[in-house]
Chains A and B, each alone.
Chain A
Amino acid sequence: MSYLEFLGNYSDRLIDGSLITLLQFVLAALVAVAAAIISGLIKLAQLKPLQAVATVYIEIFRGTSLLVQLYWFFFVLPLLGVSLEKFVAGFLAVGLCYGAYGAELVRGAIQSVPRGQWEAALALNMSPAQRMWRIILPQALVIMLPPWGNLMVEILKGTALVALISVPDLMFEARQINNNTYLSAQAFGTALVIYYIFARFVVTPLMRWLERVMARRIGRA
């Protein structure tokens, strides 16, 4: 079978798989951003019990493997009474795992906003919430966006693991096609190229664009 024939026969499945991968990526990224902001802010706040919860979350998810977390979510949580659809377990595990890495980025960025900005907001009689939302977070966002670009690529790559709990994403379809045809180079090679295109020509340019837009909005372009 020539490569063109291969593509003709299996492009439908590869496209379906790619769409699931994109969906998993978007949902996992949203979970990661939410988890990172919440736990990052909690770590900075002076609330001891909550701080301990955030620390435990970050250390557990950063200290173990994504695959272990995924299996735990999918096979163990139901035993404890929480049943998750495999699709949900997939993006939730990936999102929470990388959210723990993102939390450190959020914390570091907020801490690197110059001291004078905090003092100026205080001098203008802003409430703590106003100060955070209007002064500190927009500047922190510009600082942390470049490392988030790398993290987004890691999240995209992380979603490949959901194939192991049978979510029919690109990785899963490539494996199925390989099992049916034994055309490993074609099946896995095509999937590698698709992941590469997503990472290099979709996710990375999108994050760069976001960096520019945000920098312009706070007048640093």
Chain B
Amino acid sequence: MFEWRWEFTFEILPRLIGATGKTLLAAGGGYAVALVLGLIFALAQRTPWRVLTVATREVVEFVRSTPLLLQVFFVYYVGPQFGLNLSPWTAGLAAIGLHYAAYLSEVYRGGIESVPKGQWEAAKALNMSTLKTYRRIVIPQALPTAWAGLGNYLVGIFKDTPMLSVIGVGELMHTANAVGAEHYRYLEPYTIVGLIFLAISLPTAWLVRQMEISLRRRLGLTK
């Protein structure tokens, strides 16, 4: 039986907390990539060009149906084969960003489709351009529907960042592995990592729910 050692815990805690910053950075960076790329995927599926629509749809399906871990390896190792060397951070953010872009494009699509057709027609009658219709009419109304999905995937991407440790991104899991290997003790580092994840993801998920409720109330969607 192994015992929990408090002095060891306090010894490694600063390092793990430092690495938490990098985990948050990876989650934030990946999410930023996913937000932009996801919007491109969603809008590409709404263009009148059938080839583009179908191709985007298939790419999204493919990315959604295959494991993120494998995609991380693919992006990191395939580049050098063709003379393109990516740093672990670049490859990691690209892979996790692409993966979540596929999910976010569905969230955007659901949000945009929830806006009644009459809103589009009214905007057209008012002689608004497509861009202006999106910006002033559609997106503000699509946002409350999309909010829950956007928030849940923010928590999701945060929880998936440990997968970037496999290509050497020095985030929380990578640091815990290193600490464990140095001291031959895994109980404390892995448990602390679990607790840090809980301490961040539970309040964030709660906050997302609260903001969804208040957003709906402000826009007059619920009483």
Main secondary structure of the interface of B (DSSP, over half): helix
Contacts of B197 on A, CB cut-off 8 Å? Answer: 63-65, 68
Counting chain B CB atoms within 10 Å of each CB, which of A65, A153, A160, A178 scores highest? A65
**Chain A minimum-CB-distance residue to B67:** A160
Q: B48-70 CB contact bits vs A (8 Å, 1 = yes)? A: 00000000000001101111111
Option from A71, A80, A178, A195 in Cβ contact (under 8 Å) with B67: A195
CB distance from B58 to the nearest CB of A (A): 10
Question: Would you call A153 and B70 a contact (CB within 8 A)?
Answer: no
Contacts of B71 on A, CB cut-off 8 Å? Answer: 192
Question: Would you call A81 and B1 a contact (CB within 8 A)?
Answer: yes
Question: Would you call B187 and A76 a contact (CB within 8 A)?
Answer: yes
Question: Would you call A196 and B62 a contact (CB within 8 A)?
Answer: yes
Question: Would you call B68 and A67 a contact (CB within 8 A)?
Answer: no
| Distance between Cα atoms of A80 and B186 in the complex (Å) | 11
Option from A59, A65, A163 in Cβ contact (under 8 Å) with B202: A59
Residue count of chain A within 8 Å CB distance of chain B: 40
Question: Would you call B2 and A80 a contact (CB within 8 A)?
Answer: yes
Contacts of A64 on B, CB cut-off 8 Å? Answer: 159, 194, 197-198, 201
**Chain B minimum-CB-distance residue to A69:** B194
5 A-B pairs in the complex with CB atoms less than 8 angstroms apart:
A76-B191, A185-B81, A188-B73, A192-B62, A195-B70
Residues of A within 8 A of B (CB): 59-60, 63-69, 71-72, 75-76, 79-81, 153, 157-161, 163-164, 171, 174-175, 178, 182-185, 188-189, 191-192, 195-196, 199-200
Residues of B within 8 A of A (CB): 1-2, 61-62, 64-71, 73-74, 77-78, 80-82, 159-163, 165-166, 173, 180, 186-187, 190-191, 193-194, 197-198, 201-202, 205
